[in-house]
Amino acid sequence: MATKKSASPGETGLPAGLALLHEPLLNKGIAFTEAERDALGLRGLLPPTVLTQEQQVERVLENLRQLPTALDKFINLNGLHDRNEALFFRVVSDHPDEMMPLIYTPTVGLACQRFAHIFQRPRGMFISTGDRGRIAPVLRNWPQRDVRIIVVTDGERILGLGDLGANGMGIPVGKLSLYTACAGVHPATTLPVMLDVGTNNVEFLEDPLYIGTKQPRLRGKEYDAFVDEFMTATQEVFPGVVVQFEDFANQNAFRLLENYREKVCCFNDDIQGTAAVALAGLYTALRVTGSKLADQRILFLGAGEAATGICDLAVEAMVSQGLSESDARKRCWLMDSRGLVVKSRTDLNEHKRPYAQDHAPVGDFLSAVKAVKPTGIIGVAAVGQTFTREVLEEMARNNARPIVFALSNPTSKSECTAAEAYRWTEGRALFACGSPFDPITLDGKTHVPRQGNNSYIFPGVGLGLIAARARRATSEMFLASAQSLADQVPQSDLEQGSLYPALARVREVSAHIATAVAEVAFARGLAGVDRPADVQAYVRSQMYDPSYKSYV
């Protein structure tokens, strides 16, 4: 009887031998089967044992859990990401509660601060001021042609840590990891980009190991021209690609979003993603209180991208509930470093002016809480421990169920801890946080706080935009994503104080959000594909599964 001839390396269309083992999108490591080892020239290049992906996951977890610090674990996972993407995403997808704080907030903040010193292998594209005039050819150096989404930063406002220059590349890499882990966006279609326009961080400029351009930040017309060349090049090289702006400073973030939102399918996660996740938290909190958003009075500690983004989306939601735009704006109060944002002030930036209230000046947050008597306070200023005991006790005096969102991250920048929020409101706070906190037991009742983390929103939004081949990302889509997220919080979660779904359900949550976003694109004529009969089934069919595929 004739024996079947094995395929020779190259006949499969895959790289063979060491080239395959060095390709993270294709590598399976010791999980390559006997047949694959014969067909792909791997015989002798791997130990003889064949393990399943599940066994590999067990080994990853065993080694990871023995490491002493979160940064050590970040570096370990980064190495895994660099050599075996499917295994990396299998680990993160199957253990989101444990892994997401390691690959993103809060650990990614420290990783960015130390990025130049823990740097191992480039990931994504670094486009510097030296590339002006040739950005499109530089983008063509990227090996993948079917790029569907780009996350781009210039590193000026990384989390609450300020100007980290090229070290901020950890943020786009981390964000796109969450796109894949949380929403199944295929990693081969993602591209992290650092626009290296210099840094004003003196420590980095003097660091011999700093990996970025050692010059002061580009400003003014030269900066705008550089970004414009980049945005034009993205659509030339990757037509229709979605662009997510990430961690740009206020002075650029609002302007860039306004300049490009009607030209390119783009959004700013710090403005619009934060807004949607905060609005979803308000919706779920109001399910507990039984009141309407239009009846709330929200005081923000912070008046930057996050605060005004939340205000803008909340105003749209209130208008949909019957308020005029003017009356809705009166329900959103901002507090910046100089005090309450009021009409008599002459130092207000453009983005703050719509929320300047007709009120006497107030200089500190406690006094503002006493004067405004808000139903909810939202911290997005990245100034730690500003929701003091006096502030929280005042909120509890004025509200049966005070809304307290301490959304700044990393953890050191959190306005208060979960324990403080519950303890100083007698367990009555409706609490959400930007960094993870453990459950708190108070007077026999266990409260389970959950993060108001953008990872609930942006992966699903991105998936929806990609699936519909949307030409624009609109405010209506973010309203739909907020409502979709809130609708997926079961009553059992609300009863334990959780305003967001469990992270273990994040892929399911993202599928629903993506469906809601795609439905808006189809309804408004913004989609680049025909509407399928079953939008949710179509969206799910687009989601990447990090299980190993057979190559022979």
Q: Would you state the pLDDT for residue 409?
A: 81
Q: Would you state the pLDDT for residue 138?
A: 98
- To the query of whether residue 343 is one of the catalytic residues in this protein, the response is no
CA 62 to each of CA 24, 57, 59, 75, 100: distance values in angstroms, whole numbers, following the listed order: 21, 9, 5, 15, 17
CA 452 to each of CA 72, 167, 254: distance values in angstroms, whole numbers, following the listed order: 26, 25, 22
Enter the tokens of residue 52: 């399943």
Closest CA to 265 of 513, 521, 19, 547: 521
Enter the tokens of residue 212: 């970025």
The answer, yes or no, to whether residue 349 has pLDDT greater than 70, is yes
The answer, yes or no, to whether residue 8 has pLDDT greater than 70, is no
92, amino acid identity = V
The answer, yes or no, to whether residue 173 has pLDDT greater than 70, is yes
Residue 290, sorted as left (phi over 0), alpha (psi -120 to 50) or beta, turns out to be left
Residue 513, sorted as left (phi over 0), alpha (psi -120 to 50) or beta, turns out to be alpha
Find the mean pLDDT for residues 442-451. 95
Contact 407, 274 (CB under 8 A): yes
Q: Would you state the pLDDT for residue 3?
A: 39
Q: Would you state the pLDDT for residue 12?
A: 56
| Alpha carbons 515 and 246: distance in angstroms, whole number | 23
Ranges of each domain in the chain: 102-264, 277-452
Catalytic one among 175, 260, 456, 544? 175
Structural domain 277-452, CATH architecture: 3-Layer(aba) Sandwich (3.40)
| Alpha carbons 416 and 85: distance in angstroms, whole number | 36
Q: Would you state the pLDDT for residue 265?
A: 98
Find the mean pLDDT for residues 377-399. 96
**Of 33-37, 178-182, 348-352, which gets the smallest average pLDDT?**
348-352
DSSP 219: -
Query: Residues 414-433: pLDDT tens digits?
Result: 999 999 999 999 999 999 99
The answer, yes or no, to whether residue 369 has pLDDT greater than 70, is yes
Enter the tokens of residue 72: 């050590």
Strand order in the sheet with 266-268: 125-128, 190-196, 149-153, 242-245, 266-268
Find the mean pLDDT for residues 341-369. 96
Query: Residues 243-272: pLDDT tens digits?
Result: 999 999 999 999 999 999 999 999 999 999
Enter the tokens of residue 414: 């959190």
Query: Residues 520-538: pLDDT tens digits?
Result: 999 999 999 999 999 999 9
DSSP 272: I
Identical fold, 102-264 and 277-452 = yes
Find the mean pLDDT for residues 278-304. 97
Backbone angles phi, psi at 376, to 5 degrees: -150, 145
Share of the chain above pLDDT 70, in %: 98
Q: Would you state the pLDDT for residue 10?
A: 46
Find the mean pLDDT for residues 9-20. 78
Backbone angles phi, psi at 190, to 5 degrees: -110, 150
* Mean pLDDT computed over every residue of the chain: 95
- To the query of whether residue 175 is one of the catalytic residues in this protein, the response is yes
Share of the chain above pLDDT 90, in %: 94
Q: Would you state the pLDDT for residue 1?
A: 39
The CATH topology of domain 102-264 is Rossmann fold (3.40.50)
| Alpha carbons 518 and 512: distance in angstroms, whole number | 10
The answer, yes or no, to whether residue 4 has pLDDT greater than 50, is no
Query: Residues 462-471: pLDDT tens digits?
Result: 999 999 999 9
Contact 283, 482 (CB under 8 A): yes
Catalytic one among 104, 179, 500, 544? 104
Q: Would you state the pLDDT for residue 9?
A: 43
Q: Would you state the pLDDT for residue 11?
A: 52
Query: Residues 454-489: pLDDT tens digits?
Result: 999 999 999 999 999 999 999 999 999 999 999 999
Q: Would you state the pLDDT for residue 106?
A: 85
